[in-house]
Chain A
Amino acid sequence: MTGLTLAVPSKGRLEELTRDWFARRGLLISRPGGARSYLGVMEGEPDVTVRFFPASEIARELIRGNIDLGVTGRDLIHETSESGPQAVHFSAALDFGHADVVIAVPEAWIDVTHMHDLADVASDFRTRHGRWLRIATKYVTITRQFFARAGIAEYRIVESLGATEAAPASGVADIVVDITSTGSTLVANGLRVLEDGVMLKSEANLIASRTAEWPADKKAQLDKLLNRLGAAGF
Chain B
Amino acid sequence: MTNPAYRRTQLEALVEAQGGCRATPPLLLKADPYFDLAGEEFGRRLLLTTDATGVEYCLRPDFTLPIVADYIAEATRQPAAFTYMGPIFRQREAGPAEFDQAGIELLAQPDGDVALDQVLTFARAALSLYGIVPRIRLGGVGLFEALLIQADMPDAWRPRIRQRFGHTEALDRLLNRLEAAPDLPRTEQPARDALVEDITARMVASGLSLSEGRTPAEIADRYLEQQALDAAHIPAKTLKLLREYLAISGDVLSALRRIEELASEHRLMLGAPIRAIRRHLDRLGEARVDFDASFSPRLDYYTGIVFEMTGRNGAILVSGGQYDRLLERLGAKAPIAASGCALWVDRLEAEITS
Contact = CB atoms under 8 A, between A and B. Distances in A.
B98 interface: no
Interface in B154-173: 159-160, 163-164, 167, 169-171, 173
B206 A169 contact: yes
Contact of A116 (B174, B216, B219, B299): B174
Interface residues of A, number: 40
Nearest to A83: B93
Given A117-B226, A153-B39, A157-B40, A106 B212 contact: no
A129 B151 CA distance: 30
A171 B212 CA distance: 7
A170 B208 CA distance: 7
A156 B202 contact: no
A153 B223 contact: no
A151 B164 contact: yes
Given A121-B214, A124-B159, A151-B170, A107 B93 contact: no
Contact of A108 (B44, B169, B174, B208): B208
A147 B40 contact: yes
A52 to B, nearest CB: 29
A116 B38 CA distance: 20
Contacts of A111: 219-220, 222-223, 226
B195 to A, nearest CB: 8
Nearest to B160: A120
Contacts of B207: 169-170, 190
Contacts of A107: 202, 206
A104 to B, nearest CB: 12
A154 B39 contact: yes
A210 interface: no
Contact of A123 (B94, B159, B171): B159
Contact of B177 (A116, A148, A157): A116
Contacts of A31: none
A170 B207 CA distance: 8
- Of A116, A119, A151, A170, most buried by chain B (CB within 10 Å of CB) is A151
B208 A121 contact: no
A130 to B, nearest CB: 11
Interface in A66-120: 82-83, 106-111, 116-117, 119-120
Nearest to B204: A108
Contacts of B208: 106, 108, 168-169, 190
B73 interface: no
A144 B42 CA distance: 10
Given A153-B39, A154-B39, A156-B40, A119 B170 contact: yes
A128 interface: yes
Given A123-B163, A189-B206, A190-B206, A129 B213 contact: yes
Interface in B197-253: 198-199, 202-203, 205-209, 212-214, 216, 218-220, 222-223, 226
A109 B206 contact: no
Interface string A139-174: 001011001111101111100000000001111001
- Of A82, A108, A128, most buried by chain B (CB within 10 Å of CB) is A108
Interface of A: 82-83, 106-111, 116-117, 119-121, 123-125, 128-129, 132, 141, 143-144, 147-151, 153-157, 168-171, 174, 189-191
Given A116-B177, A148-B41, 17 more contacts: A106-B206, A108-B199, A108-B202, A108-B208, A109-B219, A117-B226, A119-B163, A119-B170, A123-B159, A129-B214, A132-B36, A141-B44, A144-B44, A147-B40, A174-B213, A174-B214, A190-B202
Interface of B: 35-36, 38-41, 43-44, 93-94, 159-160, 163-164, 167, 169-171, 173-174, 177, 195, 198-199, 202-203, 205-209, 212-214, 216, 218-220, 222-223, 226, 298-299
